[in-house]
Structure 1
Amino acid sequence: MTMMISKKSNKYLPLADISPNWPGVKVCVTRTGFDDPAFDTGPYGFNLGTHVGDRPDDVVNRRGVVQHEMGAPVVWLNQVHGCHVFDAKHASDADSSKTAPPQADASISVSSDVALAVMTADCLPVVFVALSRDGKPLGVAAAHAGWRGLHAGVLQASVKSLSQACMVPSTQIKAWMGPAIGPESFEVGAEVFQAFVQQNASAAICFKLVNSLHDGQSKYLADIYALARLALSELGDGNIEGGGQDTLTDSRWFSHRRGQQQGSPSGRFATLIRLLPEHDA
């Protein structure tokens, strides 16, 4: 783990050292800050969400620190657990407080002029890079995938949009899965299990039946990472990286479920990606 300092704001930026090593691309994942005693977190930590009860000015200031670290305006989304993909090519001032964020759960960019972001607190963040045949990065994408978005096809939609924008086959796209709720923590109802299995029978291996019953209904443990790998199977196993985190049990990450259990609001951390200018790559 690393603690980055922004020269512009002189504020700490807690970043996790777990990003993929993709030449020509910058990926950052923010932390809560609660896990580091040197960081003055306040009640919400390094929260980047505007909808969790935090002071708006504090969120704006933190987003400014993140933008400075990324080196370009950040495209923040109004995430709705759907599968719409926003094309950031027209986002000239994406982080302005005067500009309403686009309603989407994924975004793509073939330009280094912007950075893309998704916010999560148990849902799965996934970033993508499209590569030329000789390995040059051509474009990037970021997706927010809760179980509803996964079922709706947000990851497949992200791959399709990036593939079309960069004019490459899906096998020339790499994906990296950021921190999400782990397979031993993500308890769901039978309706979630049935929804995925009815869509794709192979999804059954991504669930484990819980022995106990709740209100007469069976409960399952869902492996959101395995569900994502299934959704991204067209990329090939070698092009899918990341996973293995658990936001519920790891204090580095915000967790909506942990907040519910503790009776306290949960912030949102961000996973960001930017296509770097050629002279910086």
Structure 2
Amino acid sequence: MSKLLHPKTILAIKDLQLAAKTVADGFLSGMHASRMKGTGLEFSQYRSYQPSDDLRWLDWKMYARSDRYYVRQSEIETSIDIQLIVDASNSMLHEDKGITKIDYARYLAAAIGYLSHQQGDATGLSVMQSAQVFSLAARKESQHMARFYYQLEQIQPGGNFQHPMALKQLFTGPHKRQLFVFISDFYEQQAEIMQMMDTLAAMQHQVIAFHLVAENERQASFKGYQAVEDLETGELLQLDGAIDANAYAVVWNQFITQLKQRLTAKGILYTQLSLQSPLDIALRDFLLQYNKIRR
């Protein structure tokens, strides 16, 4: 894993689109370009050009020989709508070693969006929080991607996570294959996140869930604190003496195991990411699921 993909290095790049390009290009540099370009993985045959086809795939040699337009058609020729869903509830302001969950989510979503756009797929964005809900429908145009990065930059976490009716169009859109990428810390109060996961799974969409975890919450490292605050409810928990690390580890592991089992049972790919995890781990899992849906 490249040191250039470490979160602290990437987050130092303030231009979000440039950071996304740096992450994606760095990740792909070790892969065969032939597997990442074109309308599919392997050339299969020609077919007549249709008005909606991308002009990049016209075969000009065939045109010169036949005076007709043909497109190089691969064995896999699909278009996927990729919708990134970012949890922007207040708990995403949690910080560890100078990195907040929301900043990690912001740059991760930007990198995945850049990669999907380079693949020629429509990319959209939904931001989930109680105070306001933002949804950007998936589109392919470069101008659309400029708005995509802008909206990621504008995210200001607040409130708690809800499954609002305002996002009804997210679940009742065109009947086509979609890949949903959900980025969250999975902090919920009344199973609101799992309700959304249930809805997506029931609609038979492909879903990747990235679970962002801070090392200080994984290890209960609160030395020097007299109390900790629930960022979404404001509730204070007094820390009387040292935390029983062993007991905490048992509860934490039970939570992670149950979460992973519930998501996996729904056919959702679960990946846990530390805020210190290089971003290529997430891009690898994204491409694994991406390739499944294109088969």
Rg comparison, structure with higher value: 2
Q: Same fold (TM over 0.5)?
A: no
Give the structure with the larger strand fraction: 1
TM-score, length of structure 2 as denominator length: 0.36
Which fold has the larger relative contact order, with Cα–Cα distance below 8 Å and residues 6 or more apart in sequence? 1
